[in-house]
């Protein structure tokens, strides 16, 4: 199972919290969610939701699109 790591500050400023809720509700068997203090990507953090899976940064314009990209990445990496 892949771990999607979310920046605590991005949750507050760009709405990643909605993506976390969707992942925990609908995809808890595929992706584990972790919230970390800071990724030090302040400009990116303020503009759009993003997360990291291993060393890959995944970003999108909204929470729903972010979840879709996370699931695609997780499924691709588990093959």
CA atoms of 42 and 25, how far apart (whole Å): 28
Q: Are strands 31-36 and 2-7 parallel, antiparallel or unpaired?
A: parallel
From residue 24, alpha-carbon distances to 11, 29, 43, 44 in Å are 15, 9, 27, 23
CATH of the domain at 40: 3.40.30
Other beta carbons within 10 angstroms of residue 37's beta carbon come to 8
Number of domains in the chain: 1
User: Residue 51's domain spans which residues?
Assistant: 2-77
Per-residue pLDDT, averaged over 23-47, amounts to: 86
Other beta carbons within 10 angstroms of residue 15's beta carbon come to 15
Is a pLDDT exceeding 80 seen at residue 47?
yes
pTM of the model: 0.87
**So what's the pLDDT on residue 79?**
62
């Amino acid at each position: 199972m892949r771990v999607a790591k979310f920046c605590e500050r991005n949750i507050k400023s760009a709405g990643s919290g909605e993506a976390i809720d969707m992942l925990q509700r609908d995809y808890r068997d595929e992706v584990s969610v972790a919230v970390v203090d800071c990724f030090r990507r302040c400009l990116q953090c303020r503009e759009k939701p993003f997360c990291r899976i291993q060393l890959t940064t995944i970003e999108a314009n909204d929470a729903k699109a972010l979840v879709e990209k996370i699931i695609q990445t997780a499924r691709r990496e588990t093959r």
